[in-house]
Amino acid sequence: MTDTLDPKTTAAPANAGSDQNVARTVQPQSAVVQSSAPQPPALKRRVPKVSDLAPLMQFKKPEFSKTARLKRASTIWELRDMAKRRTPQAPFDYTDGAAEEEITLRRARQAFQDIEFRPGILRDVSRIDLRTDILGKESRLPFGIAPTGFTRMMQSEGEYAGSQAAEAAGIPYTLSTMGTASIEDVATAAPNGRNWFQLYLWTDRQRSLELIERAAKAGNDTLMVTVDTAVAGARLRDVRNGMTIPPALTIKTVLDASYRPAWWFNFLTHEPLTFASLSRYTGTVADLINSMFDPTLTYEDLDWLRETWKGKLVVKGIQTVEDARKVVDHGADGIILSNHGGRQLDRAPIPFHLLPEVTEALKADNSKAAVMLDTGIMSGADIVAALALGADFALIGRAYLYGLMAGGREGVDRTIQILEKDMTRTMALLGVSKVADLNPDHVRLLQR
C-alpha cells in the first residue's frame, strides 16, 4: 500500500538535526507570496454609475394568470405539484395512486432513472425530426395520449381538452370505455384528430358490439382492448378517500373544497359526468369497474374482436413475452406493454424492463406488429430511452392528467410541449437527428 502525504502536514527530512532545521523546512500555511505586478484597472474598486445599473434593473411585471403559471413549469413533476394544489384529494389520488403498496409504480419510474445514455459526437443535429409512423399513419411525435377513466372528474374539460390538445399536436388520442365523454362528443370536439377507442369487453357481448360499432361510425381507426383487468386492483387511496362516482359532498370533501373552490365551481356548473359506455352511474369506483370487467375473457374473445373490428386492433396489458407472441398470432396489429400504471397487480412486471426481450422475440418471429408501452413515463428522456430499446411508440397517462388538473386544455398543451422539448434536447445531445436512428447502443441499463 502506498501512503499519500498531505502537503499540509508534511514532516521534516529524517536527517534534520535540530528544531531550527525543521523550521527552515516546513513553511507556514499562511505564507503567501505577494505579486509586485500592478493591479489590472478592471479590478480596481469604483462607485457604480447609473448607466451601469440601468441595464441590470429590468424588473418584470408580476404575472398571475393560468397561462403564466403553466409556462413556468418546466417538468412534468412541476405540473404534478400544481395539479395537487388545485385538485381535491380524492380525484388527485385516483390519478396519482396505484394498487396496494404502489411498489409497481415506483419501480416503473425507477426503471427509467436506472439507465445510462451513450451519446455520439460530431453529428449534425441542427434539425431534430420527431415524426414517426404508428399503425399505418404518421404521428408528429412518437407518443400519444393513453385511455384514462373518469377524466372530467379530474378537471371539468376532461376528454375534450385531451382530444383537442392531441389534435393540435398531431398525435393520437385514446378515449376510454370509462371516459366521461361519449364517443360521438369526442369526435365532434376533435373532428380532425386521430381518435382511438379503448374497450373493456363486457360479459354482455351485445353491449360491447354496440360500442365497437359506435367507435367505427365516429371515425376511430384503432381499437385498443385492455386485457389485464379480470377484477379491479386494490387501490387503497380510493378506499381511504371514500372515492365515489360522482364525488360525494361529505364533511371531508366540503373542507377539502374550501381551498379549491375553482374545481368545485367548474364541476358543479358543467354538465354532469357522462360516460363513453353508459349515461349515468352512482356508486364506488370498484363497484363500477367490477360491473364492467369480464373475468371470463379468453383468446376466443380476441378472435371474435379480430373478426368484428375492421380497423387496427391493439392489445393493452401485455406483461410476458409468451402473451406478446400469442396475441400477435391471434391477429393483433400492435401490443402495449403495460401493467395498467401499477393500478392492478402490485409487483407486476415493468414494461420498460420487458421491452428488449419482447422486441427481440417478435423480431425473431418476423412480426410487423407495433410495440408500444406505458407506465412510469415522466419526461421526454424516458420516451427517448424506450424508443432506443425498441419501442415503436409510447403512451402517456398520468403525465397528461397532471397537466389537465394543473390548467385544463392549456395544461395538456404544456405537458406535450415539455415532453417534446425534452425529447428534442435529449436526441440532440445523443447525436441523433431522427427517431428511426435511435437504437440500443444509445442506452445502457444499469443493474441494481
- What's the rounded Cα separation, in Å, for the pair 31 and 33? 7
| Model pLDDT, residue 307 | 95
Q: Mean pLDDT across the chain, nearest whole number?
A: 87
**Is residue 317 scored above 90 in pLDDT?**
yes
Residue 380 banded pLDDT, cuts 50, 70, 90: very high
Mean pLDDT on 211-238:
92
Residue 284 confidence (pLDDT) above 80? no
- Report whether 108 contacts 354 (CB < 8 A): no
Q: Picking from 1-10, 115-124, 194-203, 409-418, which range would have the lowest pLDDT averaged per residue?
A: 1-10
Would you state the pLDDT for residue 21? Answer: 45
Residue type, 426: T
Comparing 182-186, 237-241, 301-305, 312-316, the range with the smallest average pLDDT is 237-241
Model confidence at 252, in pLDDT bands (50, 70, 90)?
Answer: confident
Q: Indicate the CATH number of 78-115+144-421 among 1.10.3720.10, 3.20.20.70, 2.70.70.10, 3.30.360.10.
A: 3.20.20.70
Question: What is the mean pLDDT of the segment spanning 364-385?
Answer: 97
Q: Does residue 330 have an active-site annotation?
A: no
Contacts of 347 (CB under 8 A, 6+ apart): 103, 104
How far is 395 from 372, CA to CA, in rounded Å? Answer: 7
In our burial notation (b when 16+ CB lie closer than 10 A, e otherwise), range 227-242 reads bbbeebbbbbbbeebe
Which comes out higher in pLDDT, residue 415 or 64? 415
Residue 207 scores a pLDDT above 70: yes
Q: Which residues contact 381 (CB under 8 A, 6 or more apart)?
A: 112, 117, 422, 423, 426
The predicted structure's pLDDT at residue 290: 67
Residue 266's pLDDT is 84
Give me the pLDDT at residue 212, please: 95
Measure the CA angle with vertex 102, ends 422 and 176; round to 5°.
65
Residue 144 is placed in which grid cell? Answer: 400519444
Q: Which range is least confidently modeled, 18-22, 189-193, 353-357, 423-427? A: 18-22
In the predicted model, is pLDDT for residue 158 greater than 50? yes
Q: How many H helices and E strands in the chain? A: 19, 14
State the pLDDT confidence band at 278, using cuts at 50, 70 and 90: low
Rounded to whole angstroms, the Cα distance separating 408 from 83 reads: 10
Give 104: exposed, middle or buried? Use CB within 10 Å, 0-12, 13-18, 19+: buried
Confidence bin at 53 (pLDDT 50/70/90): confident
Catalytic residue among 270, 340, 353, 442, which? 340
pLDDT at 7: 41
Banded model confidence at residue 18, pLDDT cuts 50, 70, 90: very low
Question: Does residue 13 carry a pLDDT above 50?
Answer: no
Residues 351-362: tens digit of each pLDDT: 999 999 999 999
Span 233-255, mean pLDDT? 74
Among 423, 412, 415, 430, which Cα is nearest to 74's?
415
**pLDDT number for residue 4:** 43
Neighbours of 150 (CB within 10 A): 23
Per-residue model confidence (pLDDT) at position 2 = 44
pLDDT at 43 over 90: no
Average pLDDT over residues 215-236: 92
pLDDT band at 160 (very low <50, low <70, confident <90, very high): very high
Query: DSSP alpha helices (H): ranges in 32-73?
Result: 50-53, 66-72
